[in-house]
Chains A and B, each alone.
Chain A
Amino acid sequence: MIDYKAWEERIWQYFDGHLAESEKEALLQSLEKNDELLAIFESCQSLHSMLQQDKPDQPSPSFVSGVMAKINSTSLGTSGQSDWKKAGWVFLAAASVILLISIYLVVKGPESGTSQYPVLTDFVYNLTEYSFFRNLAWLSSGLFLLMMIDQVIIGTRKRQRSIKPV
């Protein structure tokens, strides 16, 4: 009893170019001896050549305009999301600038000849007696840390997912 499945595998390996010379010769010799194997071989050969001659469909003339229309419509839909992201970055940048200026002014001390701090810093100083800045510094550090995590870890995951979009 001939194991046709194994022979079929071998025949396809032959057409795919995965057989060594000695294996090719053995296969061709077997084909000469066995008509059934030869019939399988010819059937595979005809399918293989048909598939090789097959050509992919060409896109229609409106393909590019269709893509552009879709891009335009989707970019309108996602613009709101990017605006929120931008606003978040602007807010954080502004907060950090205010924080730095305030810290600088407190470190610098009151204006010479007076016991008064500049307006904003004096107000903040009187309000919190330094602990405000300490807390703000901690809060800012935490925020920046979270942002870093978001950008480095979550951002990387997003990029990885986008390589194999589902």
Chain B
Amino acid sequence: MAEEAAQDTFVKAYKKLSTFEERSSLKTWLYRIAYRTALDYARKKRKEVHLDDGMSVQSNAQSALSIIEEKEVTQMVNKSVARLGVDECTVVTLYYLQEMSIKEIAEITDWTQSNIKIKLFRARNNLRSMLEGNRKKLQKS
């Protein structure tokens, strides 16, 4: 699905290239198209996993890295990111995987910078809770 969305992004960009007015960088313009396309796909196909916003911090939290192998950790992180809500997943992907600044993300998504910071904060807390949950399951098994 991700690849299909990426392909559609390039098709849309190709069709709309003549309307690009250089008010933003080409990179931002392309990412905006990618973001909108991904949203469309997400709306059509994805079932969101809603998590509680109020995450309590576990007092005896330990490093998840110390328990699981690195590859498994990467897979687990990717799965956890995919389980986030669309907005949080978008922010985490752009911030970490695409190494974008908050300002760049704001240009792409039309969200305010403070809104993005809040989404990022929630996303990371949710991810942390998910990973802690996985760690506990592993400890039990």
Q: Is the CB of B57 within 8 A of A4?
A: yes
Which residues from B are CB-within-8-Å of A4? 57
Chain B stretch 89-141: residues in CB contact (< 8 A) with chain A = 92-93, 96-98, 110, 120-121, 124-125, 127-128, 131-132
Chain B stretch 53-87: residues in CB contact (< 8 A) with chain A = 57-65, 73-74, 77-78, 81
Kindly report which residue of chain A lies nearest to residue B74, judged by CB atoms.
A54
**Are A70 and B7 also in contact (CB < 8 A) when A51-B77, A159-B21 are?**
yes
Which residues from A are CB-within-8-Å of B6? 59, 63
Which residues from A are CB-within-8-Å of B124? 12, 44, 47-48, 51
- How many A-B pairs have beta carbons closer than 8 Å: the answer is 108
Q: Is the CB of A46 within 8 A of B64?
A: yes
Binary per-residue interface labels of chain A (35-53) against chain B in the complex, 1 for a CB within 8 Å, 0 otherwise: 0100110111111111111
Q: Is the CB of B3 within 8 A of A59?
A: yes
* B44 beta carbon closer than 8 Å to chain A: no
**Are A67 and B59 also in contact (CB < 8 A) when A54-B96, A165-B36 are?**
no
Kindly report which residue of chain A lies nearest to residue B102, judged by CB atoms.
A16
Q: Is the CB of A51 within 8 A of B96?
A: yes
Q: Is the CB of B32 within 8 A of A164?
A: yes
**Are A43 and B121 also in contact (CB < 8 A) when A54-B74, A71-B11 are?**
no
21 contacts between A and B (CB under 8 A): A12-B120, A12-B121, A40-B57, A43-B61, A45-B63, A47-B131, A50-B73, A50-B74, A50-B77, A54-B81, A54-B96, A56-B93, A59-B3, A63-B3, A63-B7, A70-B11, A71-B10, A75-B15, A163-B20, A166-B36, A166-B40
**Beyond the given A53-B74, A67-B7, A163-B20, could you list 8 further A-B residue pairs with CB under 8 A, ordered by the A residue number?**
A40-B61, A47-B127, A47-B128, A50-B73, A54-B77, A54-B97, A165-B36, A166-B40
Residues of A within 8 A of B (CB): 4, 8-9, 12, 36, 39-40, 42-57, 59-60, 63, 66-67, 70-71, 74-75, 78, 158-159, 162-166
